[in-house]
Amino acid sequence: MLRQTLLALSRNLKFRDLMVALPATRAVVDRFVAGQDWEQALPRVKALVERGLSATVDVLGEDTTDLAQAEHMVGEYSTLLDSLAAEGLADRVEVSIKPTALGLGLPDGPAVALANARLIVQRAAQIGTTVTVDMEDHGTTETTIALVEALRADAPDVGCVLQSSLKRTELDCARLDGPRSRTRLCKGAYASPAEVAYTDRRDVDINYVRCLRALMRGQGRPLVATHDPNLIEIAQELASRCGRSQADFEFQMLYGIRTLEQERLADLGHTVRVYVPFGPDWYGYFVRRLAERPANLVFFLRSFLGRK
C-alpha cells in the first residue's frame, strides 16, 4: 500500500511543488541525484571510475510537452557526450535516455523520439561509448521496444531496459536477444495494473529469475540491475551454469544505494555500472526511489527531521 501511494505521488503535481519548495529536501535528494547539472555531476562520475566502477548517466526529465524541450534534451546529451570524450571517460561511462524525454508523447511521437535518439546514438558511437534506452510506464513498453529495434538496425549494441514486474517481459527478453544486444533487467519502479503486472513482490522476484535465466542463455549481454542480495547470488550462479565469465555480464546499481556492495562486487572482478542521474527535474525519480525500498524512506524521514 505504501509503495503504491508513493508511486501515485510521483506524478502528483501539488505534492511535487510542496516537496521541491522544502529546503530540507535538497540535502536528502543529493544522496540519490548527482547534481543539478553536469558540472556538478562530473566529479561524482569521475570518483566512481577512480574506485573501479563504471557508470551510465541519465539527464533527468520525462513526459516532454513540446518539440523544443525534446530538442533541448538532445543538446544536453550532446554536451554530456562531448565532455565524456574530452575527459577520457567514454570507455567506462555510457548514457541512458528516456523516450518520453525525447518526444515520445508528442504528436507523431515515435518518429520524433526515434529521430532524436538516433542523434544521441550516433554521437555516442563516434566517441566510443554506448546508449541504453530506459523503460518507463507500462503504456510505453511496446513503443519503447520498437524504438530500440529501429535503433539496433544501425547500432546493435543499443541497450534496452526490461521490468520483471510486467508479465510480458520473459517474451520480450527473447525478442530483444541477439548478437551484441544489451538488456538491463530491473524489477520496475512504476505503478502498473494487475492485468499487465505482478503486484506481489515474490511474483516479481520469481519472474526476475525466469527472465534472467533467459538472458543468461541468450546471445546478448545481460545487465543485472538489482540491489537484492539473493538475486545477485542467483545471477552469479546462473552465469556459471550458462558458461558465462565475469566479462560476459555486468551488475548495475543506482547511485547512492548499496555503495559498499558495488565496491565489493567490483573487487571480485565483476563489471559494476552505477546509474547516475542528474538535473533539476529530479522529483519523479526521487519519489520512485523512496517507493522501491523502505530503507530509503526511513533515511529520508530521519534526514528531514534532522536526525542522524
Catalytically active residues are 134, 184
Q: Give which of 291, 293, 248, 255 is closest to 271, Cα–Cα.
A: 248
Within 8 A by CB and 6+ apart from 218, the residues are 173, 174, 177, 181
* Cell digits of residue 211: 527472465
Total length of the chain = 308
- Taking CA atoms, 106 is separated from 100, 112, 114, 116, 143, in Å, by 8, 8, 12, 13, 13
Q: Quick one: how far is CA 167 from the chain centroid?
A: 19
Quick one: which H or E segment has residue 147? Answer: helix 141-152
Other Cβ atoms less than 10 A from the Cβ of 65: the count is 11
Dihedral sign from CA coordinates of 33, 38, 44, 45: positive
Instruction: Give the 3-state secondary structure of residue 246.
Output: helix
Q: At what angle do helices 141-152 and 109-127 cross, to 10 degrees?
A: 40
